[in-house]
Structure 1
């Protein structure tokens, strides 16, 4: 999608953080943007800020872990803008305890927001992008934790899932004129460590990734507080959409760890290379 001006984008988790950075970058490129977020006050502030720049934007509140609410948000997007070209599945939470501490509720919440909303987003918006025949792009936010298991189990599982879903659908949707990119950010200045502020009551009182405030969590919080500007990430995503990048990363901090993972996988093949049975 080399020409973005006049296109329409739907961005989840757009009230703050990476989602807002992406919405800002797309709006600056002339894209009409429907911002979606569960946090009404943040959403209103984001929409007002962008509207003040004469950007053509609107907002819709939705809990993306509920498929019906995401479908209604899609309906509102079409009612407001007529079509959609770009889907950004960005909403995410950092909930979930470590081994021996997790609960069913924390898994349900994390999977619902981080993974199933991406599945449903593609299911709902994919046909809408196909319908107008003008092509489009789907960008889904995973994490560096989708390339190396660096956080807690439920977060890692959902982010690996987003990477796998994106990789698997890329060749399929390319045949339908839709590019697929997966965003794997490192430490970005977001509120991911305080995700429980938006925990829906139906999940009850669950543990969160910063429970206990141990040294590792404290270090992660500090790294995020001094992390990369979300607007910079937004510009990378804009460029990734224009260039149909399969992977969008934000920095090289974790490259050695990921390279080590790949080396370990290669070593596993090397160990059995001379033992493979003849067929």
Structure 2
């Protein structure tokens, strides 16, 4: 049911901001919508009315966008006071809602291009995981693959990338070039340490230790230690997958009610089943004839 006097984006935005503060919303939802460019521009957001006509993805995008807008407005200087004055005027306001927001929120008085950049920044901040957000095992592994990559240019200027399984080959580089190529990896690794999944932190520390030894021109069983680290990462991946599968199984088997998120998918599936399309063409005709032939043999 649409609210009387108050636009739906504001109602949904307020509710979403409460959910966000209670920790009931995850950055992953905003990140997924942001990556797929599903979040609404402000102008379109203000024009939206009934939610009943939206599918589940559109509703999620609308609520996330509304929440981002409301929270962005409240975080401006004097945002709470501006929101109160906006609400008092909004119930009887019949003009352009964007103009009303710009009237009470000076931070929105930007040119079209600057405003678009401001809104994109707000959405990106909602999608960004806060420090020190700890990544999952899968996310940590993905980050490590990119982070633990030593890069340098060969004499011809071509970019060479050396992964963890080839770290020992770095000893063949001249010492200064080796140290210069390893230094950025060690710095990034130190910064990433607190975001890595806890069980991966000793693994990352050992990789950084190995790189430090290589930079110091030391080779103390580096090959064997790299193999052991690879086995440990594979073991952690396997454990992570098993834990994820168990939690999914537990959640599904203990669910008390359906969320309704996939109602639109079910409706589409049922519609396709009840209204099958008949394809025309030589392949379809051949398959139809074969089906009739086998049906006749079955009856015989």
Q: TM-score range by the shorter chain?
A: under 0.3
Higher helix share: 2
TM-score, normalised with respect to structure 1: 0.22
Higher strand share: 1
TM-score, normalised with respect to structure 2: 0.21
Bigger relative CO (Cα 8 Å, ≥ 6 apart): 1
